[in-house]
Amino acid sequence: EVQLVESGGGLVQAGGSLKLSCIVSGFSFRDYAIGWFRQAPGKGREPVSCISSIDGTTYYSDSVRGRFTISRDNARNTVYLQMNSLKPEDTAIYYCAGKGRRTWDPSPLQSDYEYWGQGTQVTVSS
């Protein structure tokens, strides 16, 4: 069974940093693009950052570009999201997801991802 398990969320003051992890099992991690998405209270889920399967091509949303960094460790079946200079508007549940088609493309479209984790809460206080 495919599982994606997020960790690393928590409560942090504005301007602080957090590093999220997503450990993947049940499919060949190296053959999937991985994306981070988030859902703030009362809002829909939106893309944050994505990374392709092998060459590490990345996507960042305009709201996080320059502050967040996505990376993957294929030996550990893990993708990371380093979040710096956090803002209150970054408060959300953060989800990781797997994309098994067109894996060279770090697509930000939710419909392109077939496997989803349960999420980890990030709360940024002012």
Mean pLDDT for 101-124 is 96
Indicate whether 104 pLDDT > 90: yes
Q: Please give the pLDDT value at position 105.
A: 95
Tokens (6 digits) for 24: 């993947």
pLDDT for 41 equals: 92
Q: Are 103 and 32 within 8 A, CB to CB? A: yes
Number of other residues whose CB lies within 10 A of the CB of residue 59: 19
Q: State how beta strands 92-99 and 33-39 pair.
A: antiparallel
Q: What is the percentage of the chain residues whose pLDDT exceeds 90?
A: 90
Q: Which pLDDT does position 54 carry in this prediction?
A: 83
Q: What is the pLDDT of residues 20-48, one digit of tens each?
A: 999 999 888 888 999 999 999 999 999 99
